[in-house]
Amino acid sequence: MKIGVLAQNFHCPLKDALQKASKLGFKGVQIHAVREEFSPALLKNKTDFDFFLCLLNDLGLSVSALCSDMGGHGFERKIDNAERVEKTKAIIDLCAACGSSVVTTHIGVIPDDEKSAQFAAMVEALDTLGSYGIKQGVTLAIETGPEKPETLLKFIENCRGGVGVNLDPANFVMVTDVDPARAVEILGKYIVHTHVKDGIMKQKTDPARIYNIFAEGGIEDFRMSDYFIETPVGEGAVNFDTYLAALKKSGYDGFFTIEREAGAEREKDIAGAAEFLRKKLGAAGYK
């Protein structure tokens, strides 16, 4: 079982978070790579970079993925994309240097209209990054969020390769009201990384409204609670039995990375999620 955790969810210095992940029995960590502590700048400082590589090795951890979320509107706005593309390329380089093959990110709200300027701008940016990633052995994985799986599939098929999916089942149930198992059936061959998260939709609305709030104020924006709540894993609306069975059927053999962005006892929730997940993965046939 490849079970990992998003390191920054421990809310402590990265070296301490890695130690906590190891003590809880995780095999991998996903690391945010847009902050000063762990960013492409490390590649210019061999001493600091080697320190983290050695620590990961000593703790028996691999990097399941790097996260390149920069906030804001992702790649929706062509005027912003040149700078964002270059920063993401640098994170792809860092990912390859870490021995990982996945960079995850939110890309903004994909419009249904394939002829729109926004759709074209997003495809252009992701096409550039996908092609760059192929050369480095890295897939840029779009985190599921505001769009239906059919829309995301259509978008990926408009790109020329190197673009995949980071499937977050909670985002589907909290925002788009889609069964994660059905999403797996649609997106299966493109899934290269997953998040393990749970939640409940409180009020159905246009997903673009929620992601505009996210772009303006981040995940902590109090307005989010009008529409959904993230819960400890196993206490929300994600049907993990059918979801994990669908992933198994699709042939997925990558990491299941626990993400806990809310709650007053995140470390406790992460430990509980790991215990819950191990049992569910065993039942689904993962070893």
The CATH number covering residue 60 comes to: 3.20.20.150
d(CA 61, CA 4): 9
d(CA 31, CA 27): 13
How would you write the pLDDT of the chain (287 residues) with one tens digit per residue? 899 999 999 999 999 999 999 999 999 999 999 987 899 999 988 899 999 999 999 999 999 999 999 988 899 999 999 999 999 999 999 999 999 999 999 999 999 999 999 999 999 999 999 999 999 999 999 999 889 999 999 999 999 999 999 999 999 999 999 999 999 999 999 999 999 999 998 888 777 776 776 666 666 655 667 778 999 999 999 999 999 999 999 999 999 999 998 888 999 999 999 999 999 999 999 97
Give SS3 for 274. helix
Find the DSSP H helices in the chain: 14-23, 46-58, 78-97, 117-136, 149-158, 169-171, 180-187, 207-217, 240-250, 266-284
Q: Which two tokens stand for residue 192?
A: 């290269």
Q: For residues 17 and 7, is the Cβ–Cβ distance under 8 A?
A: yes
What is the span of the domain harbouring residue 118?
A: 3-284
Instruction: Estimate the share of the chain in helix, then strand, then coil, as percent rounded to the nearest 5.
Output: 50, 15, 35
Q: How many domains does the chain have?
A: 1
